[in-house]
Amino acid sequence: MESWKAIAKSKQEALKAAIPPEWVIPAHLLPPEHQADVTSFPRQSGWFTTRELEILSALAPRILAHIETGSWTSEEVTKVFCKAAAAAHQLTNCLSEILFDEAIARARELDEHLRKTGKPKGPFHGLPISLKDNFNIIGKDSTVGFTSLVNDPATYNSTLTDLLLDAGAVLYVKTNVPTAMMIAETVNNVFGRTVNPRNRNLTSGGSSGGESALIAFGASRIGVGTDIGGSLRIPAACTGIFTLRPSFGRFPNLQTRSGLAGQEAVNSVNGPMASTLEEIALYSKAVIDQQPWLNDPKCLPIPWRPTEPKHRLRFAVMWHDGIVTPTPPVARALQETVHRLRQAGHEVIDWAPTGHQELRQLLQRKFVADGGKSVRGLLAPTGEPFREEMEDYEKATELGVHAMWQIHLERNSLQMEYLRRWNEAGIDGILCPTTPYSSVEHGKFAYVGYTGVFNVLDYSVVSFPCGVKASKMLDGPYQSHRALSEVDDRIQRDYDASAVDGMPVSLQLVARRLEEEKVLMMTGVVLQAVTSGVKSKL
């Protein structure tokens, strides 16, 4: 039996070899290893032409318009994004599968379709879209970070894969994930660690951290990730991009690979990641307009419901969750955002973190309810060891059916109580940290409670960069901090203002269940407030 290390080495070499020679960064242009921020590489290296940079800087709606009018071809656009993705991978280790040849052939087919018919194939005609590793594409691996799943190519597409292809998308890369997609940083024994292109000393988050790194670098306009405890929102926050965590049933989730297959006490969902809110909304509407419920029995037949901005919104702000205090840059960002909202004429009330400890603990119990059997079963065939980040799975004890039923009852009770509080407060949404961090050094991401509770509740959530950047001058450590918990004490002790200096800070805006349209609208209102603060514009 081939050892797991040999399998990993072979897979890494195959991935490297899939980059054509003309897209290998010349040695004299490579940023030095000590250079933290590599997001300027496409613009400053001289390796990309003016035309290529114009395409990379265009938002998805503009790219689609250029392709439809014929001023750009899908082939040209696809080649540019393939080149950029190759660069992103060489600088951040963000990819798991490379589909450049297939993507270019697909783009040519779409260009020919448009030439012959005069009509685009669908709402994503010719647009390159990146996918997280767990989405199946026929003929490609979906390792989800396990060496035992290397050289096990998919024999069928995920439902979303087919939907995107039917809508005219070009699929050109799949992106790296942590082992089983159950670590808040993107690191596994197959591909190693993905780093943050804004600061390579920091994590890109997890589990959709390959996507977040690719997008933050500028090598994808729209990517798709998944979220079962924060796996869209955490990496989006770490890299300063946007994402939508939808409620279960809005987007198709069928026929994807999972590290915890069959675990449905809390459902995984997928959603878009992008550099702008406009692109998140474009993707969301286009996918739902494809009527995914016709191909996924768990999708709800709810069409897209346009939502007009309200003149005055009623927000609740949760300053902390009662377990971990947000680090200084996140606390400052939340304060400044609330101030701007009030200046703009919106109402903001305080929100107590009632039930958050119970919700957080419930989520963790669900993840390890099988005693770690699912993860162990995927590690065993190659002798791959548990990573230290997966210690909870290694030591877990399997729950019986009765105990699992009690967890379901507890979940239902907590959901009911949260709904009651929401109704009594009469709020439109909750504003709170996405994570306690702006980002954090590798190996130090210690808490997912801010995101995970809303997975148990199944609420619609947007994580968004709020315009504040961490500052070592403004965001020094708390001088007299009273820790809320042991993990809070550790996080505050580990906090290094210099390490995250200049990093964007994200917050999350939470709506009720199945309010994707409303939470996107409300996020736009918040962004308007923080960028203008002008009351008359609302």
Which phi and psi angles does 412 have, rounded to 5°?
A: -60, -40
Ligand-binding annotation for 228, yes or no, is yes
Cβ(198)–Cβ(39) under 8 Å?
A: yes
Distance CA 200, CA 218 (A): 15
* 265-293 tens-digit pLDDT: 999 999 999 999 999 999 999 999 999 99
User: pLDDT digits over 339-354, tens only?
Assistant: 999 999 999 999 999 9
* Token pair recorded at residue 104: 């270019």
pLDDT at 538: 31
Annotated binding residue at 230? yes
Q: What mean pLDDT is reported for the chain? A: 98
For 12-31, the pLDDT digits (tens) are 999 999 999 999 999 999 99
Residue 145 has what pLDDT? 99
Helix 74-92 / helix 50-57 crossing angle, nearest 10 deg: 90
According to the model, what pLDDT value does residue 246 have? Answer: 99
262: annotated binding-site residue?
A: no
Percentage of the chain modeled with pLDDT above 90: 98
- The model's pLDDT over 155-168, given as tens digits with 9 standing for 90+, comes to 999 999 999 999 99
Is 229 annotated in some ligand binding site? yes
In this predicted structure, what is the pLDDT of residue 16?
99
Q: What confidence tens digit (pLDDT) does each residue in 481-510 have?
A: 999 999 999 999 999 999 999 999 999 999
For the cut 70, the answer to whether the pLDDT of residue 2 exceeds it is no
CA 439/CA 393 separation, integer angstroms: 25
What mean pLDDT comes out for the span 59-66? Answer: 99
Please state, in angstroms and rounded to a whole number, the distance separating the CA atoms of residues 368 and 347. Answer: 40
Answer whether residue 323 shows pLDDT above 90. yes
Rounded mean pLDDT of 319-333? 99
Give yes or no for a contact between 281 and 520, defined as CB atoms under 8 angstroms apart.
yes
Please say if the pLDDT value at position 148 is more than 70: yes
Q: What pLDDT digit, counting tens, does each position of 39-62 carry?
A: 999 999 999 999 999 999 999 999
> Residue 79 and residue 313: Cα distance in Å, rounded?
44
**What residues are labeled active site?**
132, 207, 231
Distances (CA, A) of 186 to 144, 213, 437, 532: 11, 10, 16, 35
The model's pLDDT over 435-480, given as tens digits with 9 standing for 90+, comes to 999 999 999 999 999 999 999 999 999 999 999 999 999 999 999 9
Is the separation of the CB atoms in 194 and 93 below 8 Å? yes
Q: Is the dihedral of CA 286, 291, 295, 301 positive or negative?
A: positive
Q: Give the mean model confidence (pLDDT) for residues 72-99.
A: 99
pLDDT (average), residues 180-195: 99
Under a CB-based contact definition with an 8 Å cutoff, are residues 522 and 509 in contact?
Answer: yes
Domains of the chain: 4-23+45-294 (3.90.1300.10), 314-533 (3.90.1300.10)
- Other CB atoms within 10 Å distance of the CB of residue 63: 23
Rounded mean pLDDT, 94-122: 99
| 225 marked among binding-site residues | no
> How far, in Å, CA of 131 to CA of 312, rounded?
37
467 is in an annotated binding site: no
pLDDT of 341: 98
pTM: 0.98
Residue 399, sorted as left (phi over 0), alpha (psi -120 to 50) or beta, turns out to be beta
pLDDT for residue 535 is more than 60:
no
- Single out the residue of 182, 118, 148, 122 nearest to residue 11, CA to CA: 148
353 forms beta bridges with none
Average pLDDT for residues 130-137, to the nearest whole number?
99
Task: Tell me how crowded residue 376 is: count the other CB atoms within 10 A of its CB.
Answer: 15
Confidence category of residue 310, pLDDT binned at 50, 70, 90: confident
pLDDT value at 536 more than 50: no
pLDDT in tens, 355-370: 999 999 999 999 999 9
Task: Indicate whether 1 pLDDT > 80.
Answer: no
